[in-house]
Amino acid sequence: MSSGSALARNSFDPARAGSDARLSVEQVSYAYSANPTQAPLFTLEATSFQAKPGEIVAILGPNASGKSTLLNLIAGALAPLSGRILLDGFVTHSLTPKTRAQRIAVVQQESRLLFPARAWEFVLQGRHAHGRSLRFESEDDVLIAKNALAQVGAAELSDRWMDQISGGEKQRVILARALAQQPLLLLLDEPTLHLDIAAQVGLLDALRRLAAENRYTVVVVTHELNLAAEYADQVVLMQRGRCLRVGPPANIYQRELLEQVFQTPLTVEMGASGRPRVTVLSAT
Amino acid sequence: MKPLTLRRLLVQCLTLVVVLFLVVVIALKFGAVPVSLYALGRDLLSVLFGQTSQISSDYGLIIVNIRLPRILLGMIVGASLSVAGTSFQALLRNPLADPYVLGVSSGASLGAILALIVEPHLSVSPLFAALLTPLGAFLGAAATITAVYFLGRREGQIDSTTLLLAGVITGSFLSAIILFLMSTLSGSLRGLSFWMMGELSTPLQKSVYWFLGVGFFVAAGAIYTTASDLNLLLSGEKEAMHLGVDVPRVRLVVYIAASFLTGLAVSVSGAVGYVGLIVPHVMRFIFGSDHRTLLPTAAIGGAIAVIMADTLARTVVAPTEVPVGAVTAVIGAPLFIYLLRRRLA
């Protein structure tokens, strides 16, 4: 490990301490190549944005725009090529897996299980990072897990098997596991991908309420234009590894821009709530 | 919500220990010289609780010098293979993983044979020479699991079918080399059926039992420290990492310890198959898939299973003996097919 990152590990930025941003993505870039001698297969150009506690940020863009890469960088799973990502002043990539899991919870597209588990067992996994490696769950852990299930409206699923509940129910239990981690930052990768409309709205309503109540900073990767417009405080618009715009949906949602990014004709109108609405038009 | 408590874990393990004791008594009874089950149980209990220091009856010599060492060996071999199988299943996210199916046992056999070939040419102390075989078996096992791990990947991800195929083919390749070595070389290499199917009939020195026992507890203990991590690894390495598991460290510890356990078992009993497959499945069915319970119960269950299989091997066509690995394979292979079909369905 270079001395630069060792320095970064302990760098609590005093300038940052004064600001109210919890998450700060600073000029972050990344390159992926299968072979170091070859040209990179994918690059992410310098991207910057900041997010406060209680804020929902949507990373929006079509497929292969670099959304998931950016999310993995924020999660600390990947090391940026340049720039840095700070969570409350700490570089996310330099934290140990355990410390990282105490502060950052990640909800993946889907969670596969090798052997059947009950929902409560699954949610208790979220407490793993808060204990020693070999120990038995405390009463506190059980209480936190119960609470997490209740917060996503899934208390009644506690004793059900994970492979016997619906997609929407499963997504809630996965979210409950993330809440049980008691994180500062909640990252979600296409959480609504396999859900029907009612389940999508239910999940995002729950997310908005939780972000406000628990002061999580939430970053959601999505390609759903209208869900991002409805729920996000800030949108990071991505295209082919470039961050095009950052700002509130009302500023980002311009017809020409979105048409160019998503490669389809569409209309944008401002809703009564001050949030834009997008209608995708048929190309023919 | 009923999370695992230490008390429940101990009760489950103690229940299995009682079953293990009963199985040991029954296994001690069977053999050429008839022994009364009641007298045997009474004598064993009085020795266990320190009331007498030896079994004073006329069958004592046979029990202590012949049957008991073999049963002890079976316990260690069964426990080692079961813990290794449980670990491989979790790390490779493959419920059909087992040291034998993955070719790791064959790798260990080959390593042990090579050590036996090299040993006379090295001028080392007798103590070190005795450890050379298990060391060779361990290195053979570690090299094989590494090879199978990389052969079983497709597009950077472990693919469960490719992995199993890679393991089976690697195993048959290594078995061919073993056959080749055995037919060109002679000497103290033990029999072919020992390396191919496994046997518990080889007499060992007392110090070897100590080495096996200590080795088992160190390696199984190392794996047990990662029990909660293994629970999370069942959902995938990336997810486990996000939940706070230091994946590279866990992977290293468990691969090394599980290879060591396989090497340990193979160096003294040859390649006994399917124990690491069947036992974890049975224990998971009874006690659930939490590795904090699964690892110790699989260890005790493995001991039980191998003692039972060996008792069958000794008695089913008495006075001839069948290799114990033949018994475990006759039961294990159909179960493997059943589990494979159920998973595909």
Q: What is the pLDDT of residues A35-62, one digit of tens each?
A: 767 777 788 888 899 999 999 999 999 8
pLDDT at position A12 over 60: no
Report DSSP state, residue B235.
T
Q: Are A63 and A70 in contact (CB under 8 A)?
A: no
**Chain B residue nearest residue A182, CA to CA:** B243
pLDDT tens per residue across span B275-321 = 999 999 999 989 988 999 999 999 999 999 999 999 999 888 878 88
Query: What's the farthest any 2 CA atoms get from each other in chain B?
Result: 65
CA distances from B281 to A256, B224, B326, B331, B340 (A): 59, 18, 20, 13, 13
Mean pLDDT on A256-267 = 89
Mean pLDDT on A18-33 = 84
The whole domain housing B269 covers: 12-23+68-344
Report the alpha-carbon distance of residue B134 to residue A51 in Å, rounded.
57
Which ranges constitute the DSSP H helices of B36-125? Answer: 37-48, 60-62, 68-91, 104-118
Q: What pLDDT is attached to residue A64?
A: 84
Look at chain B and report how many structural domains it folds into: 1
CB contact under 8 A, B235 and A112: yes
B interface test, pick of A104, A112, A114 with most B CB neighbours within 10 Å: A114
CATH of the domain at B243: 1.10.3470.10
* More confident position, B157 or A180: A180
Report the alpha-carbon distance of residue A245 to residue A260 in Å, rounded.
13
B123 falls within a domain: yes
Q: What pLDDT is attached to residue B242?
A: 93
CB contact under 8 A, B244 and A98: yes
Residues of B with CB under 8 A from a CB of A: 1, 3-6, 89-90, 93, 95, 224-229, 231-232, 234-236, 238-239, 241-247, 284, 289-290, 292
Beta bridge partners of A105: A186
Q: What pLDDT is attached to residue B53?
A: 62
A interface test, pick of B1, B229, B247 with most A CB neighbours within 10 Å: B1
Q: What is the ipTM of this complex?
A: 0.85
Report the alpha-carbon distance of residue A270 to residue B139 in Å, rounded.
68
CB contact under 8 A, B244 and A129: yes
User: Of the candidates B3, B224, B238, which has its C-beta nearest A142's C-beta?
Assistant: B3
CB contact under 8 A, B226 and A102: no
Please state the φ and ψ torsions of residue B248, each to the nearest 5 degrees. Answer: -60, -40
Q: Are B260 and B318 in contact (CB under 8 A)?
A: no
Q: Are A234 and A246 in contact (CB under 8 A)?
A: yes
What count of other Cβ atoms lies within 10 Å of the Cβ of residue A260? 12
pLDDT tens per residue across span A212-243 = 998 999 999 988 888 889 899 999 999 998 89
CB contact under 8 A, A133 and B244: no
Please state the φ and ψ torsions of residue A136, each to the nearest 5 degrees. Answer: -105, 145
Report the alpha-carbon distance of residue B291 to residue B310 in Å, rounded.
27
B37 falls within a domain: no
Report the alpha-carbon distance of residue A177 to residue A122 in Å, rounded.
7
Please state the φ and ψ torsions of residue B225, each to the nearest 5 degrees. Answer: -65, -15
Q: What pLDDT is attached to residue A6?
A: 41
Mean pLDDT on A139-153 = 91
**Chain B residue nearest residue A104, CA to CA:** B242
Residues in Cβ contact with B203 at an 8 Å cutoff, skipping those fewer than 6 apart: B69
Q: Are A32 and A81 in contact (CB under 8 A)?
A: no
Q: Count how many pairs of residues, chain A against chain B, have C-beta atoms within 8 Å.
A: 87
Q: What pLDDT is attached to residue A184?
A: 94
CB contact under 8 A, A97 and B225: no
Kindly list the residues from chain A whose CB atom is less than 8 angstroms away from the CB atom of residue B247.
Answer: 97
pLDDT tens per residue across span A67-90 = 989 999 999 988 999 999 999 999
A interface test, pick of B223, B242, B282 with most A CB neighbours within 10 Å: B242
Q: What pLDDT is attached to residue B9?
A: 94
Distance between B150 CA and the closest CA of chain A, angstroms = 16
Q: Is A49 helix (H, G, I), strand (E, B) or coil?
A: strand
Q: What pLDDT is attached to residue A111?
A: 67
Instruction: For residue B134, give the amino acid letter.
Output: P
What separation, in Å, do the N-terminal and C-terminal C-alpha atoms of chain A show? 54
Please report which confidence band the pLDDT of residue A9 belongs to, taking 50, 70 and 90 as the band edges: very low
Distance between B157 CA and the closest CA of chain A, angstroms = 14
pLDDT at position A7 over 50: no
Report DSSP state, residue A282.
P
B36 falls within a domain: no
Distance between A246 CA and the closest CA of chain B, angstroms = 27
Give the range among A138-142, A199-203, A242-246, B215-219 with minimum mean pLDDT.
A199-203
Q: What pLDDT is attached to residue A3?
A: 41
What separation, in Å, do the N-terminal and C-terminal C-alpha atoms of chain B show? 31
pLDDT at position A4 over 50: no
Kindly list the residues from chain A whose CB atom is less than 8 angstroms away from the CB atom of residue B227.
Answer: 134
Report the alpha-carbon distance of residue A178 to residue A185 in Å, rounded.
10
* More confident position, A4 or B232: B232
CB contact under 8 A, A145 and B1: yes
Angle at A272 between CA A198 and CA A67, to 5 degrees: 55
pLDDT at position A250 over 50: yes
User: Of the candidates A116, A120, A128, which has its C-beta nearest B243's C-beta?
Assistant: A128
Q: Is B244 helix (H, G, I), strand (E, B) or coil?
A: coil
**Chain A residue nearest residue B225, CA to CA:** A134
Q: Are B83 and B259 in contact (CB under 8 A)?
A: no
B233 falls within a domain: yes
pLDDT tens per residue across span A235-244 = 999 999 889 9
B31 falls within a domain: no
Q: What pLDDT is attached to residue A50?
A: 93
B201 falls within a domain: yes
Kindly list the residues from chain B whose CB atom is less than 8 angstroms away from the CB atom of residue A121.
Answer: 290
Q: What pLDDT is attached to residue B161?
A: 84
B50 falls within a domain: no
Residues in chain A: 284
Regions of chain B short of the pLDDT cut 50 = none
B58 falls within a domain: no
Q: What pLDDT is attached to residue B189?
A: 66
pLDDT at position A246 over 90: yes
